[in-house]
Every structure is written in structure tokens, then in C-alpha cells.
A and B are shown apart, each in its own frame.
Chain A
């Protein structure tokens, strides 16, 4: 059990320095455009735009591909399922094998849906995996007026996650020492998993209580309006990123419409 939240780029990479709210808004615009369009060209162009932007972000491509590896298989599955179970098979029949029948129309429809999933997921990973959680919390609190109780609380909880992974290993070893292990019996494995989870939870709640007391003792949520050690605000560059994203979305839709394939 490993929990990795390591960003896919250096803290000094261009994309890491973009304001988190600007980045999230840009990713949101791209995702919504892809999800609203029902044709295959719009998401394809958006994906191409994302790929074209990559070299300027400072992201390590190998790291990004590793982070997205589940996505490719998920998107492939989406394509296949939608092609096979399409409401109607239109156009030329490509495969006809007993009950299995796939036509060009259904395949195109499936690809369109798969592409939309790809665009939304890639945009989301680009925004989130290049954002330091602390910066995100700061931006949410300062720019979107999210309550500090929520954002700082989430940050503190995030800090405890790796401890849980270490504790899971300790509990598992401690149980083997007591003569308890799952072995090959699935029922016993499931019961052991549940009881280990319970032990982990008991420890986590105790820890959370101690952390909450420590935060209270340092004056957290004491009714005084907090100040912010790091300022998060939209700088000109951030507006450029956001405007660029909106412009690309508009241009892509315009091309699809001009090409005569745009659908909603």
C-alpha cells in the first residue's frame, strides 16, 4: 500500500507557478467543452491542444504517462462497451460474429465518448497533479472564500495519510506474529482485512483527536479572522492562462461547427 501525491513536475516548472484557481478554471472549461460536445472532432482537437501545450508546462512526460496509465485502459473499455452496446448500429458493418455486431457509426460514437473521458481526465490531472496541496488550500481560502476549517483541516488530514500506510504494515506484521493471517481462504482474508481496517481506524481517530487539540492550542478557528502567510491572487500570467484555455475551447468548437460535425 503506497500513497503517492508527488507532483508530476518541479515546483519551479511554469505550470506549477500558475495560480491554482486559474488552473482549475482552465481545466474545468476544457472538460466541460469536451463533455458537452457529442461529436468526435471536438474532443480530438482538445486532446491535440492539450498535447501541444505539454512541452511548455515543464511536466515530465514519463511521470505524466505513468499517472495516466489507468486512463488509457479505462478509455479503451469505454470505447468498446459503447461500440458493442450502441442503441443502433449504423453505417458499414465492421464486425459481425454471432451476437457481436459493430458498425462504423457505433464505433465512431464509442470513440467520441472515449475521447471525451480522455480530455476530461488529462485536463484534471494536469491541473491537480501540478498543484501543491498547500497552494491549492491557500487559493481556495483566499480567492474562493472556502472556510479555513475545511481547507486547513483537509491539509492536516493529508499530512497524516502516509502514517496510515506505515501503520497498516505494522498492524499486519503484528497480527502475523499473533498467528493470524489470511492465507488462501478468501473468507478469512476478508475478515482479517476488516479487522485490520478497524484497528487502523481506531488509531486514526485517536490521532485526529490529538491533532485537533494541537491545532486548537495554536489558536485555530478561535473566531479571529486569520491572516495568510502566503498570498494567492490572480496575476497577469494567470489571466493569460485562463483566457488562453477559453480561447482554445471557442476555437475548437468553431472548427467543429465549420467542419459540420459539431453536435451537442
Chain B
């Protein structure tokens, strides 16, 4: 009888277009949109040479030709400025500028058209002009500003030392020309730091929670006062637990199959790098799915509210959990951690997301198993609560 219940519930799930849409096509469509929309996230963080116009102090004729002017007329300060700009304009990893030598009028026109980030003037001291309207380019403007500050500072410092301790000037110039790497870059993990991954983790977590639809259906169809099928099942000689278990298992098979297809699509079609722990990725999806089904089963068994109200409650619950784990705002998890950290330890979406994060970033599996354990406990509690609510119910009239 268990197999009978399992088989027909499974058929029901696969034939329900709404379920198939929300659990398979919608996540796949959303993943595709994420892939296109967030592809530029990491590129946006990357440092690219800053488009800059350089206006030299002497006549505008040479400048207008967009070529570097002759060196003869320049003081040490001016020569050094041009050499610095040229050096930082050289193609390569250390390139700071995408510089163009031009006249002031043309530079202003380029700045107004937002084709450059700033104008460097070869004055004494060097000046920088930026557009107040380019507020989305604040970081690039600040880097230009830091460059100008640094440039002016060294000259000021050399002048200072030259007046106080002229005998130490050669040592200072030697120190200035020494190429020193003050900073050593390290990292805490070999995992990908791509911000886009967070959105995919959250998408999978949302799909796992959408499995509530299966649990809800199993619960409603085992209660005679909530569905016609429940009434029919109620009068049949099948034990309620057996029939409910069959429906729950079929829900798990259906939702886990949909999740596997989603994961395969993400890994092979969209080439999302989830790390090397493929087995654990699918295991997390399975546990997430069980959690989603359990929540649906628990709410479905709770009280006499009709299907629509229970469905809306569960939908609101899954969106609430997904929002606070970062589906809409990527760094939401860390914000929640600062305000009420305990919430991240009971929010199922955050637990699923953090499990994927732990697999991708953390060296050990301790954090991962902690999350899985909490998810398992939450699922067990919901299933137990659901069973306790539906068992031994008798109806005088329907």
C-alpha cells in the first residue's frame, strides 16, 4: 500500500504544472537571469586603468596634437610629472592610467561627456579636476586624488629635508627611488571570492524551501477535513502514517530530482564553480529539500486553515527566510549576524546557504556539519510535530 501511495503521489507531482514550474522552470530561469545580470559583479570590482586627461602647462598647440611635448622646456618637477604619467600609462598589470594628453577645453568637454574620470593639470602643485556628477565613479576619483596627493607630498617632503638636512638629500632620493614592496598579499582560503556565488547559493536555498509545496500537499491530502482526496483516503483501510509516508517520500523524490536538474544546469550549463566537493553539494540539496518538505508538512497539519492560506503562509515564510539569507541583498547574512546572530543559526535558508559557503571557502568541514545538524533537527521537529497533529483524528461529520 505504501508503494501504491508513493507511486500515485509521484505521478500527481509530475503532472502538476504549477509545481513543475515553481520548482524547476522558475529556478532555472532565475539562475539564467542571475548568470547574465551578475556576470559583471566581479568585473566591476576589478581594477581597470582610469581614463584620465592630462593637461600640460606650456602651450596648447603641442597638447592638442595628443602627443607628449618636447622635454627641453621643462623643469625637474614638470619632467618628473610627465615621466610618472607615462610610466603609469604603460600597458601591464601596474597600469594606473588610460591617459590622453590634451588641451584644457577638450579635457573639460571629455569630462562633461563622462568619457574620462578626471583631469590632471601639470601645475605647481599638480591639480586634479573631477566631475561632481560622476558620483558612481567615486573610487576611481579617490584613486586619482591619492595619486596627486602622493605626488605633491614627495616633492614637499624632499623640499623640507633639503632645507633642514641638505647633507641627507642623496640618501632621501635613494630611498625614494627604491622600489619597495611594503605589503604582502595573503588569503585565508583558496575558495572563490566571487560575490555572484552568494546569489546562486541563495537561489538553491530558496528552491529547497519551495519543497514545502510537496509537504503541504502530503499533509492536506491526509486530512479528511481539508481535501476531498483526504476524505477518500480517510475511509480507506490504509494506515494514515503509511499513506503520509508514501506521499512525503514521493515529494522528496520529485523535489530532489528538480534540485538535481537545477544543480546540473548550474554546474554544466552556466559553469558555476561550487568547488570540488560535488557529493556534499548534492547532499546539502537533499537535506535542504527534506527541511522544505518538513516545514510544508508541519504547517499543512496545523489547524483548519484552507490550502490557500497555508500556501500563502509558507510562501511568505520561504521568501522571508530567503531575504534574510541574502537572496535579494547579497551581504544580508553578515548584517543579520551583527544585529541578531542567533537568527542565522535557525533560519533554514541561511543554514543551507552557509553550508554551501562552508564547502566552498572553509578548510575544515566542522561548520558545514554544524549547519547540516541544525537543519536535520529542525526537519525532525517539524515532521514529528506534523505527525502528532494528524494522527488519530476522527470526524463525526464533514
Q: Are A and B a genuine interacting pair, yes or no?
A: no
Q: Which residues of B contact A (CB under 8 A)?
A: none
Which residues of chain A have a CB within 8 Å of any CB of chain B? none
